[in-house]
Structure 1
Amino acid sequence: MTDSKRRKSGLIADKRYGAKSKSPAPAKPRGAGGKPAPKRKSKPPRRSGGNVITRFFGWIFGLVWGLIWRTGMIVVLLVGLAVALIYSTLPDVSALLDGRARGSVTLMDRDGKVFAWRGDQFGGVITTDTVSPHLKNAVLATEDKRFYYHFGVSPRGVASAVRINLREGRGPLSGHGGSTITQQTAKLLCLGVPYDPAVWKSEAEYESDCRQGSLWRKIKEAVFAMAMEAKYSKDEILNIYLNRAFLGAGARGFEAASQRYFGKSAAQVNPSEAAMLAGLLVAPTRYAPTNSLKRSQERAQVVLGLMEEQGYLTADQAQAARANPALLSEAAAAQAGGYFADWVMSELPDYFGGNTTEDVIIKTTLDQRIQTSAEEAMRFIFQEKVRDGSKAQAAIVVMSADGAVRAMVGGRDTRVTGAFNRATQAARQTGSSFKPFVYATALEMGHSPLDTVVDEPYCINIPGSGQWCPKNYTNKYYGRVTLAQALKDSLNVPAVKVAEAMGLNNVRRVASDFGIESDLAAGPALALGASESSLLEMTGAYAGILNGGSSVEPYGLTELRLQGENEVLMGTGTGIGERVINAEAAGQLIWMMEKVISEGSGRRAALPGWQAAGKTGTTQAARDAWFIGFTADYVAGVWMGYDDNTPLSGVTGGGLPAEIWHETMIRVHEGMTPKPLPMQAPRQPVVVAKPKPKKPQGGLGQAVDKLLKDLFGN
């Protein structure tokens, strides 16, 4: 069968099933002249090596991806378990609002006005509903503008903080933390770990541990923050933050800070005050307005800009706030009474003082007007009368005749807390300021200010020490002088003679009964103030002279109670104790001391229009200079010297100390009506009949009578 026939007949199968018509095969391309085109050479097949590399990297990618998502699932599971565990331990929000480990002490002056705080101050619970809306907005603007939109952690905030830190040349976790308010609250709660004295030596060490900035610590804070977000509402978290944040000057929470700096509730602050408070969060001690008002105001300007930028303030409101920056309250600006507050705290039982766990309210004897007067007087004299660069120090105490301390300045730097208090802690030789107690003894034993004693070269043989010869400051002697003249001119020899005649033990007893509790010298130098005492003790002893001869215990506390309670737990009504010398002797001693200011060594202390009495005091080599005196209303004491006992140059008690006393008392008595001193002039001796000398009380016997005749004359 030929090929053509085969093509025509077809296959049987095709006929049976009906072969599909086939489209004609495409014509083979022809070359020029109708010849078939030459066949192209086929390319050699590619090698399969590229597929192996692709498959290898695909396998690696799959392995890594599988590891990542499995690890991610494990991390998510662990985080979820950690969040659930922390969630189960979180207490009710009310238990987290006041997290202080110790209480606070609020000190009020005699008029009931707060002037100082000690410990961790907590002003009371506040909420987002009770605070000023400006304060809430200021906190959100400066700390966490997306607070209401994240789940406790802000990846965007963290990334931004890392970028800023790297740009500023710090480590990625150093400086800006990118923490949300929730994370900051977790840090304030120390991740739920309470303070334990058995673990941490102090609260400062505890808080330092809570503020760690390691990566692991930040991870734990993030987990704790997410648990808080699950447990509490946003406003509840913000409430915890507003109540627990530390804002400088011992203030915990915005209510305490508002009271501390502005003297008003956090519900009443205006935009500029709110901005200043919110600005403290970044560095409370550095930006505290009591440390630097200017720096705090500059920081507040930044916060106001953020509030305007985020729509919390209109342009006009922001401009008005910038034009009227926040100012401190009068009490906060004065910062008066720091030394006084420290002294009162030192007198308290420990459970009401530095280690109290309660909030204690103390009403004191402080008079802020008098305190300011003393501080101004101190600054004035040192600015006008003391050379620049001098390290000389001074202290002032002002009190009433019953011992109620009205002012206390413990050093030249008046705005300090916890500093060395030269009014109470420095024990210094008293010099001639001790002499009134020598003459008080003589007057109590029946002598008159007009009795005489011979001022002359005089030596005493002291067993074990040899001969001691006291001299007057001027190195001159004035012959027979009255006791009044001897005190007025601060003569040393007559003072020693009188002390010897009255008996040194009697002089020590009188001084001690007046409140000088320091160890008193046993030898005759006692009369010249060789013993040491504090300014507070000496001023209190002089108050005993003013009040008519009764001892005085200086005091600063009048009432102590717990916050929110009316029961008085401690109190002092008066500091007057038992009588030391009789009223007549006290009146005559005041008469003698008035001559010191009006005619004698204390003339620089004179107060025009006022009767005043006092005594100068200068120790050996002028290491200490004193002036203590009083009017009918107040007693004031001044000490001046160097902390290292360097001798003063050209200073005596009748010089700069008397001038400080004068400047203080001029200010203290401004606007007051002058009152006469309770002094009693001595009866003039009768010339026609020679009076018999009175025997000293206490039965000293004939030997003392003979000694008195030798010292005072017939």
Structure 2
Amino acid sequence: MVADRRYPSKGKAAGKQPAKKSTAKAAPARRKATRARKPRRGGVLGLLSALVSWIVRLIWTITWRVALVAILCLGLAVGYFYTTLPPLQALLDGRARGSVTLLDRNGDVFAWRGDQFGGVVTAESVSRHLKNAVIATEDKRFYRHLGVSPRGIASAVRINLSEGRGPLSGHGGSTITQQTAKLICLGEPYDPSSGQTEQEYEAGCRAGNLQRKAKEALYAMAMEVKYSKDDILSIYLNRAYMGGGAYGAEAAAQRFFGKSAAEVNPSEAAMLAGLLTSPSVLSPTNDLDRAQNRAATVIRLMREQGYLTAAEAETAQANPAVLSDAAEARAGGYFADWVMSTGPEFFTRNTTEDVIIRTTLDQRIQKAAEEGLKYVFENKVRDGSEAQAAIVIMSADGAVRAMVGGRKTKVRGAFNRATQALRQTGSAFKPFVYAAALDLGYSPNDIVVDEPFCMNIPGSGEWCPKNYTNRFLGPVTLTNALKDSLNIPAVKISEGVGRDLVSRVAGQFGIKNDLAAGPALALGASESTLIEMTGAYAGILNGGSSVTPYGLVDLRLMGDDEPLMGTGGGIGERVIQEDAARQLVYMMEKVISEGTGQRAQFGGRELAGKTGTTSAAKDAWFIGFSADYVAGVWMGYDDNTPLKGVTGGGLPTDIWREAMSRAHEGTELKGLPMSPPIAPSGLGEQDPVLASDPIPVDNGGGGQGGGNIIDQVLQDIFGGGSSGSGSGAPAPRPADR
């Protein structure tokens, strides 16, 4: 019985074993079924839970679909801009205008104008310091983003809001790629036929509205796909404006430091990178201190980002970048501006080509003029004076060697008092009165009476000129009348030879502005510019031929050997006879050796010239020459305020002497081309005869030498001058032609 029980039990156990295994295998299914059949939470909570779950699923479904569509649209937009991007080489020179390089008489560069482009550089070819300085300053995550930096944009928005501006006003958070996209105006070239000015076009390129920002971001991403990071940086380094007319790193390095962009040191690199923020304001040619302060900030950023060691940063901070001597001088100043204004506009001010202009400038003489002016104002003019002065130095053929148009010499585009200021000439005009008389045959030793003198001028009444000293010297020679700058003799001679002739002689010598019509013509009532007056005196020095002052020798396109045009100035037609010119030089030499211009003497040289002071001392002049150079100096106030205690024989003569003595350093002594006159028979400068006495005169053959007695007797020579009609003026003598 035991066995019977046992065996069935075993049988049951054996029979149940597979069932247990089946149950074990089915357990997960039962648990799933149990979970599936888990009753939902009922009531309001259940309903809300289901609603939230549905909304989440809906949002996710919409979001990933919208995101997918946005990514596809973004890809299409980037792809479109990608197809519009030109080859890399087409983007490296982005100037709208060409450049003008000005060479001095020795062929050395002294100034640049227009948009300078020093040549293509790449991110690999520039100094590593310059590359690092640009990245540290403009976009420290440049190599880690895809053209747009969300972190940078967020930071810029935060800063703008904290400073009380709109989110897109002020800081833009632009990457270097975005800035490069702006530089190429998102691929939109300037179209002159659009009706937009170039300034309006550039303003549109820099617009900061939301639509423009979005397009800029797409364009930047397309650039990241099209070009490598270094390619983009290369475009940026070549197209960015860096102040002083320089476009690109190479032009800026040459402009400011006289070296290649591959050679700049950390402090120079920092200054160049600092210019990118505000190139015009921070340009070292405008404000070196401000440029150095900005460079110090860039050096600090380079140190913080690991581009400079502590020692390198300390050295750079202790030795800030400065302009090279050549670069500082290459502002070109007034002379460069004047030359640019004399050339054809399509090759100078608005050129689209790169142009080379060879000029007459002598940088040694230019420096002499600037130093002479500075010396007098620092040592002889009271502090705070706003008086101005101008200097022109030229050769006898009109080739201008130096020009200073005001007290600030390192300027560009400033008002040029040497070429633009029309001022009354005063007694500096008198040589042209005597030139007309000498050309008619008068002698420097002829006598004129300096005495009270009046004229009736129709419509104006009686006019009675006076001398500066309010004294009258009686009978004087023409030489002494000019030497002492006497007014009465000058008026009498002008009336005698005829105002029309005096005006014609002055005009032919180069004084082109309208000349006074009345008798005050002889006293310099007319207006002229300093360069015109200096050119007219050059005509006296060269023997009596007209001169057109010039600074441009020839103009050619960069890369061409043959010039497109040559000089437009030089010696022109003869105005007075050579003997008359040589006698006038003799008379003007007495002005410096014995007369009103004695302060002009230097170095034992033969010098000739003439002082000039206008009524109320609003203008003071001294113009004179050696055998080598002609120089003119004007001094006065821009607003016509009278000068105090200044005449042409004073400070202007001092400036002339200081400039000319420096200009003549190292040159040999040469005599002036002058001819002393032969005194009339029985009449010498020390034995004047009363002008009312009729006398026979030996004028040496018309005042030209020879010693023959002419049969003309001067009646009442320059006498009887109080009649008011000018009847005491001399009768014109026949010219010895």
| TM-score, normalisation: structure 2 | 0.86
User: What residue number does 1:139 align with?
Assistant: 134
Q: Which amino acid in structure 2 is aligned with residue 496 of structure 1?
A: V
* Cα deviation 1:88-127 (Å, max 9, x = unaligned): 1111111111121211211122222222222211111122
Instruction: Please state if 1:667 is matched with 2:662.
Output: yes
User: What residue number does 1:54 align with?
Assistant: 49
| Between 209-218 and 505-514, the greater mean CA deviation after superposition | 209-218
Shift of 1:141: 2.5
Matches within 5 A, 1:346-425: 346-425=341-420
Contact 1:451 1:712 in 2 (8 A): no
Identify which of 560, 575, 594 aligns with 2:555. Answer: 560
Contact 2:448 2:717 in 1 (8 A): no
User: What residue number does 1:30 align with?
Assistant: none
* Cα deviation 1:311-337 (Å, max 9, x = unaligned): 433333333333332221213323554
Contact 1:337 1:408 in 2 (8 A): no
User: What residue number does 2:674 align with?
Assistant: 679
Identify which of 310, 314, 318 aligns with 1:315. Answer: 310
Q: Which amino acid in structure 2 is aligned with residue 205 of structure 1?
A: E
Matches within 5 A, 1:579-658: 579-658=574-653
Counterparts of 2:496 and 2:18, CA distance in 1: 158
Q: Which amino acid in structure 2 is aligned with residue 555 of structure 1?
A: Y
Counterparts of 2:18 and 2:383, CA distance in 1: 123
Matches within 5 A, 1:94-243: 94-199=89-194, 201-243=196-238
Identify which of 214, 233, 257 aligns with 1:262. Answer: 257
Q: How many positions carry a matched residue from both structures?
A: 674
Counterparts of 1:184 and 1:713, CA distance in 2: 78
- Go from structure 1 to structure 2 and tell me whether the alpha carbon gap of 1:552 and 1:180 turns closer, same or farther (over 3 Å shift): same
Matches within 5 A, 1:462-481: 462-481=457-476
Q: Which amino acid in structure 1 is aligned with residue 501 of structure 2?
A: N
Q: Which amino acid in structure 1 is aligned with residue 212 of structure 2?
A: R
- Go from structure 1 to structure 2 and tell me whether the alpha carbon gap of 1:116 and 1:543 turns closer, same or farther (over 3 Å shift): same
Identify which of 63, 71, 94 aligns with 2:66. Answer: 71
* Cα deviation 1:576-619 (Å, max 9, x = unaligned): 11222222222221111111122211222222422221111111
User: What residue number does 1:10 align with?
Assistant: none
Identify which of 427, 431, 442 aligns with 1:432. Answer: 427
Contact 2:435 2:576 in 1 (8 A): yes
Shift of 1:85: 1.0
- Go from structure 1 to structure 2 and tell me whether the alpha carbon gap of 1:50 and 1:125 turns closer, same or farther (over 3 Å shift): same
Matches within 5 A, 1:508-523: 508-523=503-518
Shift of 1:695: 6.4
Secondary structure, in 3 states, of the residue corresponding to 1:517?
coil
- Go from structure 1 to structure 2 and tell me whether the alpha carbon gap of 1:297 and 1:126 turns closer, same or farther (over 3 Å shift): same
User: What residue number does 2:725 align with?
Assistant: none
| Between 103-112 and 487-496, the greater mean CA deviation after superposition | 103-112
- Go from structure 1 to structure 2 and tell me whether the alpha carbon gap of 1:210 and 1:573 turns closer, same or farther (over 3 Å shift): closer
Contact 2:492 2:718 in 1 (8 A): no
- Go from structure 1 to structure 2 and tell me whether the alpha carbon gap of 1:200 and 1:367 turns closer, same or farther (over 3 Å shift): farther
Counterparts of 1:374 and 1:336, CA distance in 2: 16
Counterparts of 1:574 and 1:19, CA distance in 2: 126
- Go from structure 1 to structure 2 and tell me whether the alpha carbon gap of 1:709 and 1:160 turns closer, same or farther (over 3 Å shift): closer
Counterparts of 2:592 and 2:122, CA distance in 1: 61
Secondary structure, in 3 states, of the residue corresponding to 1:561?
strand
User: What residue number does 1:339 align with?
Assistant: 334
Secondary structure, in 3 states, of the residue corresponding to 2:365?
helix
Percent identical residues: 67
Which 5+ residue runs of structure 2 have no aligned equivalent?
A: 1-11, 21-39, 684-694, 705-710, 720-727, 732-737
Secondary structure, in 3 states, of the residue corresponding to 1:282?
coil
* Cα deviation 1:239-290 (Å, max 9, x = unaligned): 2111100101111111111111011221222222222111211221222111
Contact 2:331 2:411 in 1 (8 A): no
Counterparts of 1:287 and 1:661, CA distance in 2: 36
Q: Which amino acid in structure 2 is aligned with residue 494 of structure 1?
A: P
Counterparts of 1:21 and 1:490, CA distance in 2: 144
Shift of 1:667: 2.3
Contact 2:97 2:353 in 1 (8 A): yes
Q: Which amino acid in structure 2 is aligned with residue 457 of structure 1?
A: P
Counterparts of 1:19 and 1:331, CA distance in 2: 107
Which 5+ residue runs of structure 1 have no aligned equivalent?
A: 1-13, 23-44
| Between 640-649 and 360-369, the greater mean CA deviation after superposition | 640-649
Secondary structure, in 3 states, of the residue corresponding to 1:209?
helix
Instruction: Please state if 1:482 is matched with 2:477.
Output: yes
Q: Which amino acid in structure 2 is aligned with residue 114 of structure 1?
A: V
Secondary structure, in 3 states, of the residue corresponding to 2:398?
coil
Contact 1:108 1:362 in 2 (8 A): yes
Secondary structure, in 3 states, of the residue corresponding to 2:347?
coil
Shift of 1:229: 1.3
Counterparts of 1:252 and 1:139, CA distance in 2: 15
- Go from structure 1 to structure 2 and tell me whether the alpha carbon gap of 1:704 and 1:233 turns closer, same or farther (over 3 Å shift): farther
Contact 2:116 2:245 in 1 (8 A): yes
Matches within 5 A, 1:502-513: 502-513=497-508
Shift of 1:544: 0.9
* Cα deviation 1:197-246 (Å, max 9, x = unaligned): 33464323222221122233222111001111111222221221111001
User: What residue number does 1:572 align with?
Assistant: 567
Query: What RMSD over aligned residues (CA atoms) do the two structures have, in Å?
Result: 2.8
Secondary structure, in 3 states, of the residue corresponding to 1:198?
helix
Shift of 1:47: 6.2
| Between 203-212 and 310-319, the greater mean CA deviation after superposition | 310-319
Contact 2:112 2:330 in 1 (8 A): no
Shift of 1:385: 3.1
- Go from structure 1 to structure 2 and tell me whether the alpha carbon gap of 1:20 and 1:660 turns closer, same or farther (over 3 Å shift): closer
Q: Which amino acid in structure 2 is aligned with residue 49 of structure 1?
A: V
| TM-score, normalisation: structure 1 | 0.88
Q: Which amino acid in structure 2 is aligned with residue 259 of structure 1?
A: Q
Shift of 1:515: 0.8
Q: Which amino acid in structure 1 is aligned with residue 495 of structure 2?
A: E
- Go from structure 1 to structure 2 and tell me whether the alpha carbon gap of 1:538 and 1:707 turns closer, same or farther (over 3 Å shift): farther
Secondary structure, in 3 states, of the residue corresponding to 1:596?
helix
Secondary structure, in 3 states, of the residue corresponding to 2:632?
strand
- Go from structure 1 to structure 2 and tell me whether the alpha carbon gap of 1:21 and 1:388 turns closer, same or farther (over 3 Å shift): closer
Contact 2:448 2:718 in 1 (8 A): no
User: What residue number does 2:75 align with?
Assistant: 80
User: What residue number does 1:37 align with?
Assistant: none
Counterparts of 1:61 and 1:703, CA distance in 2: 125
| Between 195-204 and 562-571, the greater mean CA deviation after superposition | 195-204
Contact 1:337 1:368 in 2 (8 A): no
Counterparts of 2:635 and 2:589, CA distance in 1: 22
Counterparts of 1:451 and 1:21, CA distance in 2: 156
| Between 673-682 and 502-511, the greater mean CA deviation after superposition | 673-682
- Go from structure 1 to structure 2 and tell me whether the alpha carbon gap of 1:49 and 1:667 turns closer, same or farther (over 3 Å shift): same
